[in-house]
């Protein structure tokens, strides 16, 4: 894993020092080597920069930018099946001079053009300049594991693995995209293709971007979409056949992610997903797999479960109990590493466990995507219950009941704020069409409560984009709409962003076997009852885990990374509230309805605020603003 940065400057005013400053801003992504290259064209000057974390081919052979004939590349990520592709290219007459996967991408692009991506299994973002066609091609992996930001104002195209690389360039424009701020407060993250700044975007997963240096025209093309596989006919495999095939795919995904010339480990929580990854790896090697877990003095603590699992599997286990002080000290660093407002508080333990792993390994496997792909979230079950209730109502009565229900739900005294919000969501989502109803319900359940939306901003500029907008045509199973939405929004923009920045903050590479596109393509076509039979979530995945470890050992409640953030903010960390959420601090951006927001802050201090996640979202926005906008 590495960091990339660069520019295509049609004014020809950018310099080598500008390029160095861009790549120097992200040294944590590549501490082992650095390279830059300036290419002078008739219409522009092109700058390509690379910071390397050496994983495959530790020699200078992996140095970037790398050139082959008229193609020059900078690349961040890994192509796990590069040796197979290399053999295919050698049969076609290609000769290689390094052992790196970067060279394989160059030759594959030369042979097959941008369609070469269809052969790749991996996580990647690569930028290739073709001096013959005068085009820059950027390609992002299918799941969106590797990040990519770009700024474009018709005169200069700036790009980088992290937003801070763009910000260092003197031509970058730091103007907040006010319409996306409301989306951030809904979701807790800023979804691709948007960023916090105007004229600045993220390439969406599974897409190519091409920029012609002759015409300045940008084209955007989708080459892969998870949604498509949910719409295909369901598999006719029986359960045991499906389980066997999935098991083989999981083994293949894990084996590929062991390709490395440096030590590898696994984040182990003791839950099903990480246990599966650790078990598959340990079964395939005589060496002890290194596993890592952190526990906490406060909050949920999975460390005892992980220790028990590691002992059973026979891994080389490292456990560390973090103090409250250590966890709290991470919070001020979040705006620097995440670049944009980002409100997933589990970034804190993810950074801490990355620090622990960094002492022993350079690559670590994480087990994200199990819930999204195999129907693991409680929200899916809640949504299913609401759908059942809604569907008891005759279609012709739904519009009237929806209106009445929205009014009456405010007057139910014994309901908690959260339950009231979910019931309102159910009433708002009522539709004659089950698929559209499912999409609406999932959207409303996961959005900021309506009164917060209406009162938070001075001038609310509604964003036309919604991460929940997917093409509902051809979906046959309503609940799979929620899965597709989560895969295309929450997984990509929250979970994978969190892990990438956390691991890179300490210069280790995070790998994600469960986001292997072959697993999603297969699982999406399985009948829903193979994943959820009405009682057991992630059924087929859990049954595979039980082949490695006794069911009795896994029979425990799901916990996850949960910290007592809100009690900290009323206690040891109350100074953060006073510093960043004071009326004076809130006024600086000019975005907020300060009297109303201050009222919510005061309610929080008294432990009377019903929707506490709002405070963490607000604090992360304010800390980001203080870091990057002052």
Tell me the per-residue pLDDT of 84-120, one tens digit each, with 9 for 90 and over. 999 999 999 999 999 999 999 999 999 999 999 999 9
Dist. CA 558–CA 536, nearest whole Å: 13
Q: Are 372 and 491 in contact (CB under 8 A)?
A: yes
The domain locations on the chain are 2-224, 228-375+493-554, 378-483, 565-628
Residue 544's pLDDT is what?
Answer: 99
Print burial letters for 69-92: b (CB count within 10 Å at least 16), e (below 16).
eebbbbbbbbbbbbeebbeebeee
**Residue 528 pLDDT > 60:** yes
Q: What is the mean pLDDT of residues 30-54?
A: 96
Give first-to-last CA distance, the chain, whole Å. Answer: 31
**Residue 419 pLDDT > 70:** no
Within 10 angstroms of residue 174's Cβ, the number of other Cβ atoms is: 12
Q: Which helix (H) or strand (E) holds 528?
A: helix 528-531
Residue 414's pLDDT is what?
Answer: 45
Q: For this structure, is 2 an active site residue? A: yes
Q: What is the mean pLDDT of residues 319-345?
A: 95
**Residue 374 pLDDT > 80:** yes
Dist. CA 364–CA 20, nearest whole Å: 29
Residue 515's pLDDT is what?
Answer: 98
The secondary structure of the chain in percent helix, strand, coil, rounded to multiples of 5, reads 45, 15, 35
Residue 415's pLDDT is what?
Answer: 45
According to CATH, what is the number of the domain 228-375+493-554? Answer: 3.40.50.620
Question: Who contacts 453 (Cβ-Cβ below 8 Å, separation ≥6)?
Answer: 182, 185, 186, 447, 460
> Is 287 known to sit in a ligand binding site?
no
> Is 9 known to sit in a ligand binding site?
no
Residue 618's pLDDT is what?
Answer: 98
Dist. CA 73–CA 591, nearest whole Å: 41
Residue 424's pLDDT is what?
Answer: 54
Place of tokens 């859990």: 542
Residue 142's pLDDT is what?
Answer: 98
How do residues 213-270 score in pLDDT, each as one tens digit?
Answer: 999 999 999 999 999 999 999 999 999 999 999 999 999 999 999 988 888 999 999 8
Q: What is the mean pLDDT of residues 121-137?
A: 98
Q: How confident is the model at residue 404 (pLDDT cuts 50, 70, 90)?
A: low
Q: Which of 2, 116, 254, 322 is catalytic?
A: 2
To the question of domain 2-224 being in CATH 3.60.20.10, the answer is yes
For the chain, the average pLDDT equals 90
């Amino acid at each position: 894993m590495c960091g990339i940065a660069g520019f295509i400057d049609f004014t020809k005013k950018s310099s080598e020092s500008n390029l160095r400053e861009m790549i120097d801003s992200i040294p944590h992504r590549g501490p082992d080597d650095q390279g830059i290259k300036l290419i002078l064209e008739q219409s522009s000057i092109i700058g390509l920069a690379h910071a390397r974390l050496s994983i495959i081919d530790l020699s200078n052979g992996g140095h970037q930018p790398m050139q082959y004939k008229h193609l020059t590349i900078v690349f961040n990520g890994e192509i796990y099946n590069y040796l197979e592709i290399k053999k295919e290219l050698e049969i076609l007459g290609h000769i290689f001079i390094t052992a790196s996967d970067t060279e394989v991408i160059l030759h594959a692009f030369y042979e097959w053009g941008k369609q070469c991506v269809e052969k790749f299994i991996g996580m990647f973002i690569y930028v290739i300049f073709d001096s013959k066609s005068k085009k820059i091609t950027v390609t992002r992996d299918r799941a969106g594991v590797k990040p990519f930001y770009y700024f474009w104002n018709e005169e200069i195209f700036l790009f980088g693995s992290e937003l801070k690389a763009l910000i260092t360039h003197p031509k970058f424009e730091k103007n907040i995209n006010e319409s996306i701020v409301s989306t951030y407060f809904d979701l807790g993250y800023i979804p691709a293709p948007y960023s916090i700044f105007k004229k600045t975007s993220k390439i969406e997963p599974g897409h190519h971007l091409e920029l012609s240096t002759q015409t300045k025209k940008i084209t955007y093309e989708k080459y892969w979409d998870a949604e498509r596989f949910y719409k295909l006919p369901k598999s006719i495999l029986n359960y045991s056949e499906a389980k066997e095939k999935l098991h083989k795919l999981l083994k293949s995904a894990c084996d590929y992610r062991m390709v490395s010339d440096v030590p590898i480990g696994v984040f182990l929580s003791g839950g099903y997903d990480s246990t599966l990854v650790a078990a598959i790896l340990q079964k395939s090697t005589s060496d002890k797999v290194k596993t890592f877990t952190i526990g906490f003095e406060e909050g949920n603590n999975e460390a005892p479960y992980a220790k028990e699992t590691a002992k059973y599997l026979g891994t080389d286990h490292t456990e560390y109990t973090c103090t409250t002080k250590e966890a709290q000290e991470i919070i001020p660093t979040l705006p620097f590493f995440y670049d944009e407002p980002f409100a997933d508080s589990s970034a804190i333990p993810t950074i801490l466990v990355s620090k622990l792993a960094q002492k022993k390994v350079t690559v670590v496997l994480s087990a994200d995507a199990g819930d999204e792909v195999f129907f693991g979230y409680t929200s899916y079950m809640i949504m299913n219950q609401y759908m059942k209730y809604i569907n008891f109502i005759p279609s012709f009565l739904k519009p009237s009941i929806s209106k009445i229900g929205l009014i009456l739900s405010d007057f139910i005294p014994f309901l908690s704020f959260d339950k009231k919000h979910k019931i309102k969501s159910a009433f708002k989502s009522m539709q004659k069409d089950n698929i559209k109803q499912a999409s609406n319900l999932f959207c409303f359940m996961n959005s900021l409560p309506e009164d917060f939306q209406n009162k938070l901003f001075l001038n609310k500029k509604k964003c036309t984009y919604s991460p929940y907008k997917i093409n509902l045509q051809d979906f046959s199973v309503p609940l799979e709409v929620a899965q597709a939405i989560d895969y295309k929004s929450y997984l990509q923009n929250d979970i994978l962003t969190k892990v990438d920045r956390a691991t890179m903050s300490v210069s280790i590479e995070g790998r994600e076997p469960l986001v292997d596109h072959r697993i999603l393509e297969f699982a999406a076509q399985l009948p829903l009852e193979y994943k959820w039979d009405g009682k057991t979530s992630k059924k087929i995945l859990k049954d595979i885990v039980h082949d490695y470890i006794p069911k009795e050992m896994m029979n425990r409640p799901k916990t996850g990374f949960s910290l007592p953030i809100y009690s900290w903010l009323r206690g040891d960390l109350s100074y953060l509230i006073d510093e960043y959420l004071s009326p004076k601090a809130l006024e600086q951006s000019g975005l907020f309805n300060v009297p109303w927001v201050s009222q919510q802050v005061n309610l929080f201090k008294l432990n009377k605020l019903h929707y506490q996640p709002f405070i963490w979202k607000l604090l992360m926005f304010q800390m980001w603003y203080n870091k990057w906008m002052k």
